[in-house]
Structure 1
Amino acid sequence: MEIRGYREEDRGALGRLGALAFGGSPVEWEEYYDPAKNPRLDPSWVSVVEEDGEARSSATVLPLEVFVDGAAVPLGGVAAVKTHPAYRRRGYAGALIRHLLGRMRRQGMHLAALWPFSHAFYRAYGWELVSESIRYRLDPRQLATGPEQRRIRAHRESDLPQLARLLERRAARHPLGVRRTGGAWDRALKDRELAVYEGEGGAEGYLLYEVSDRDSRRTPPRILRAVELVAGSPDARRGLLSFLASQDPEVFEIVHKTSRGEPLHPHLGSAHLRMEVEPEFMLRLVSVEGALGHLRRSPSAPLVLRVADDGLPENAGEYTVGPEGIFRGSGSPHQVSLDVRQLAQLYAGYLPAGRLAELGLIRPGSGRALRLLEELFPPGDPWIFPADHF
């Protein structure tokens, strides 16, 4: 088995692999490896397992930026991990993941994320779930209408810079929210529509949505999927929700996914409706020291994190975090022992330190150490907008 870089002649084989693994057509998957059609792709980050002259497995890292404490930092979006069905369970995928983690670490990419086919598989390599969503299925009549809807209009090309600023402000409030660049906006808008709320100073909010074809086997026969709702003011939110409420309930069911920290409940007349909590992405701290260095906060006194990492032994050890900065080694009597997987959950703000301690998943040496850990890692609302999934 050889793990090598991508070659242009691999495109056909990887297109067939993608269709076998994930569905779609081989032609669509060949376009995935064309940077002109997939602007987030850097071919140098595509890795291929070759054996007996065949490309049998592949994985890609998308070099993205995400927000940590409001600042954009690099993150490797691991995507398109696939193996030919005839060659599964031969260790190809695991070898690729280890290879990519090592390469990201060497190149100073301290964070990585992915949407897993199996949480248990990736957990074995040091990844952990750090985000959830709430999926709503609504009759339009369950949403309130209001006069703000009069300010809704179709989008114009000139709106995009303002919409991008609205999204960036919103994404920066979510730990690990993806920073969307111009090329990624083109991808997000493909085959979708935009409704814009026009405020006194221009666009104040927008709804990115798509509609399904009619399916006579279901009632109602079509789905309006609200992919992304971004509001810069309460009026904008009311107007965009009123737009959804105005759809014909005999024709459309509304489907909308939110982060767990921004539920639709405050905007509904009744919360007795269909909701599903779904797992979102997993996070890997590729370099613990580097990831901690992205933080723009510290506890009020030095705290030692005693980190275990069975996937990347280079991460294992003690880290002192305090008002004076971060260094490897023990520089405080206040200590917490934890695995890199739980450190990822704390880092994202997914689970509070006190809850992890109650569950026995972290081991603070004292009550003071736990309080310092809570200062360092306050709860947050980790979220990547669906149009930025990878």
Structure 2
Amino acid sequence: MEIRQLRAEEFDASVSLSEYAFQYKMSSEAREKAKAGFKPERVWGIFEDGELAAKFTLLPLETYIQGSSVPMGGIAGVATWPENRRKGLVARLLKYALEQMNEDGRPLSFLHPFSVPFYRKFGWELYCDYKKYTIPTGKFPAKVQTEGSMVRDKGGVELLDGLYRRFASSYNGTLVRDKEWWEHSVLDESTHYVVYYTEAGEPEGYALYKISNKVLTIDEFVWLSLEARKGLWTYFGNHDSMVTEANLKLVPSDDDLPYLLPDPRIPQESYPYFMARIVNAKSFVEKLRFRADGAESSIVLSLSDPLASWNNGTWRLSVSETGQASLEPAEAEDVQHMAACGVGTLTAMLLGYKRPIDLYRAGLLEGTEGAAVWLESKVLPARTALFDFF
């Protein structure tokens, strides 16, 4: 068997596998459009006797971590023909993907799982949840008079991205969007957007939305000030003669809107969303800021990784007096505090999805209680979110 990038002439083979695996049929028009935008260098396949047996797409993306951009490998479109399943082909592809990402200097990888247990065994772990609200128009936030103004469908991607960056960078795990991503993966012909401007003319929030069959679907709601939040909701409240309800999608898990509603008893749902995985533990740890307490200290961490052998082993995790971290090979000698976990648990902990002490109490972070307490004191609290899909 051979693992390699696809060639341009293998587009049809790639689409046929996707159609079968994900149970859809692409129209002739959509197929031609997809062919024009096909980037074979991003699609890797495993071939048997020259035939495509399984494949995945590796997207060169970036994500916000602690307010800064970090390279990330997005895995999508993992598919196998049924006659080739349970032969370990996907495991081989994922291992190969991790090797490629490690060589490219991408310390993180994200994917949307068809099955959480399936990807957990390969080291990926849930890192964010999202909420979904259904709000009848009679329960919308109260309309208020603001000093600012609303501008609809004017300003373009550059304006929206400037606001998005300020909002998204306050979370760990949100996507850094470029113009192509905005135009092809966020906006479409049916999407409207509205921007809130302050009295001084400064943009402070926006919403992406659609209206169909008397339902207002809000795909993205970004606000940088309380006034912007109020202004956007007043704008949507003025649609009360057009719509019967609003559906809010991909709302961050820390959102508090229901509590602020006049009547908060609305349908609310919470979903585990994307999974993440540390590709290179040393590289990722040393990019992070930890809590500084004026003195250097350390623990020993035993890390297990089923696919990335370079992460396996015993490490000394040190944090300097200024909060800078280092991860260096260590001996499992007699130490006061030692922790042990898998790469998935480490990912959830360092991204801020779960706190160290909670993972320790759940038995996912093992070792001494002192090591768990040390990690709890050093790992900075963070919020996680993702507003995109791939």
* TM bracket (short chain): 0.7 to 0.9
Contact 2:289–2:325 (8 Å) recurs in 1? no
Aligned residue in 2 for 1:343: 346
1:313 to 309, 315, 318: 309
Task: Go from structure 1 to structure 2 and tell me whether the alpha carbon gap of 1:361 and 1:143 turns closer, same or farther (over 3 Å shift).
Answer: same
Specify the alignment match of 1:381 in structure 2.
383
Instruction: Report the equivalent of 2:218.
Output: 226
Q: 1:289 aligns with which of 282, 287, 290?
A: 282
Q: How much does 1:311 deviate? A: 2.5
Using a 3 Å threshold, how does the CA distance of structure 1 residues 305 and 33 change in structure 2: closer, same or farther? farther
Alignment RMSD (CA, Å):
2.4
Look up the match of 1:217: none
Whether the aligned pair in 2 keeps the contact of 1:12 and 1:30 (CA below 8 Å) is: no
Rounded Cα–Cα distance in structure 2 between residues aligned with 1:83 and 1:225: 34
Q: Distance in 2 between matches of 1:29 and 1:14?
A: 11
Q: Which residue of 1 aligns with 2:48?
A: 51
SS of aligned partner of 2:97: helix
The 5-angstrom pairing of residues 117-196 of structure 1 reads 117-144=114-141, 145-148=143-146, 151-157=149-155, 159-187=156-184, 188-191=186-189, 192-196=191-195
Match of 1:16 in 2: 16
- Secondary structure in 1 matching 2:289: coil
Deviation at 1:271, TM superposition (A): 2.0
Residue 152 to residue 253, structure 1, CA distance change in 2 (3 Å): same
What is the CA-CA distance between 1:209 and the residue it aligns to?
1.3
Distance 1:365 1:230 in 2: 42
Q: Secondary structure at the match of 2:262?
A: coil
Q: 1:276 aligns with which of 266, 269, 274?
A: 269
Q: CA deviation at 1:102?
A: 1.6
Aligned to 1:218: none
For residue 230 of structure 1, report the CA deviation from its aligned partner: 0.8
Query: In 1, distance between residues paired with 2:188 and 2:110?
Result: 24
Partners in 1 of 2:36 and 2:147 — Cα distance?
40
Cα distance, 1:30 vs. partner? 6.2
Give % identity: 29
The whole-number CA distance in structure 2 between the counterparts of 1:186 and 1:149 is 31
Write the mapping of 1:202-217 to structure 2, written as runs, cut at 5 A. Answer: 202-212=202-212, 214=213
Residues 180/10 of structure 1: CA separation in 2 closer, same or farther (3 Å cut): same
Could you tell me which runs of 5 or more consecutive residues in structure 1 were left unpaired when the two chains were aligned.
215-221
Moved more, 130-139 or 266-275: 266-275
- In the alignment, the residues of structure 1 paired with residue 126 and residue 82 of structure 2 have an alpha-carbon distance, to the nearest angstrom, of 26
Is this contact kept in 2: 1:67–1:179, CA < 8 A?
A: yes
C-alpha distance 249-348 of structure 1, shift in aligned 2 (>3 A): farther
Contact kept in structure 2, 1:129 and 1:281, CA below 8 Å? yes
Cα distance change on mapping 1:378 and 1:135 into 2, 3 Å? same
Give the equivalent residue in structure 2 for 1:371.
373
| Per-residue Cα deviation, 1:325-354 (whole angstroms, up to 9, x for no partner) | 413233974322122111011011111111
Does the C-alpha gap of structure 1 residues 246 and 234 become closer, same or farther in structure 2, counting only changes over 3 Å? same
**Counterpart AA for 1:226:** I
Between 203-212 and 169-178, the greater mean CA deviation after superposition: 203-212
1:240 aligns with 2:237: no
Query: Displacement of 1:4 after TM fit?
Result: 1.5
Aligned equivalents of 2:340, 2:280: Cα separation in 1: 17
User: Is contact 1:227-1:256 (8 Å) kept?
Assistant: yes
Q: In structure 2, the residue corresponding to 1:343 is in which secondary structure?
A: helix
Q: Does 1:360 align with 2:363?
A: yes
Q: Is the 8 A contact 1:197 1:206 kept in 2?
A: yes
Letter paired with 1:346: M
| Number of residue equivalences | 373
Q: 1:150: Cα distance to partner?
A: 7.4
TM-score of the aligned structures, taking structure 1 as reference length: 0.88
Q: Tell me what 1:219 maps to.
A: none
Distance in 1, matches of 2:148 and 2:362, equals 50
Could you tell me how far 1:34 is from its partner in structure 2? 4.5
* Kept in 2: contact 1:140–1:244 (CA 8 A): no
**What is the CA distance between 1:264 and its match in structure 2?**
1.8
1:305 & 1:296 partners in 2: Cα distance?
A: 18
* Structure 2 CA distance for aligned equivalents of residues 312 and 169 of structure 1: 34
- Bigger shift: 276-285 or 18-27? 18-27
Q: Deviations over 1:278-314 (max 9, x none)?
A: 1111011111111112202256422322212223232
1:44-87 Cα offsets, whole Å, 9 max, x none, are 23101222332232211111111111110100011111223454
Deviation at 1:265, TM superposition (A): 1.9
Structure 2 CA distance for partners of 1:316 and 1:124, relative to 1, 3 Å: same
8 Å CA contact retained: 1:137, 1:255:
yes
